[in-house]
Amino acid sequence: MPPTNQQSSPKPTSNLDLFPIPQSFLLQIGTASILLLLITGKATVRALEALGEASEELFRGDRLPNLDFPDEREINQDEKIYTK
């Protein structure tokens, strides 16, 4: 039996190298974006808390005008007029 020449088949290319960008650069970008997201989140929470406190001050009861509520007799008379 004659010896057969075994040709090595070409290596299958791996799909892991999708981007020619170095991994360290991707890690730096990812870290910076996460830090920026955290800082923005904290600033947003502080701004919303300040807005909430300002709205509480705006609607505090001592700064609102006193409202005149009708007496029970006036309410009963109005109901009689509307029900006739």
Helix (H, G, I), strand (E, B) or coil at 69: coil
**Model confidence over 13-45: pLDDT tens digits?**
555 556 688 889 989 999 999 999 999 999 999
> Which residues lie closer than 8 Å to 70 by C-beta, 6 or more apart?
78
Instruction: Find the length of the chain.
Output: 84
How far apart are alpha carbons 74 and 82 in whole angstroms? 12
pLDDT for res 5 = 61
Mean pLDDT across 49-54? 93
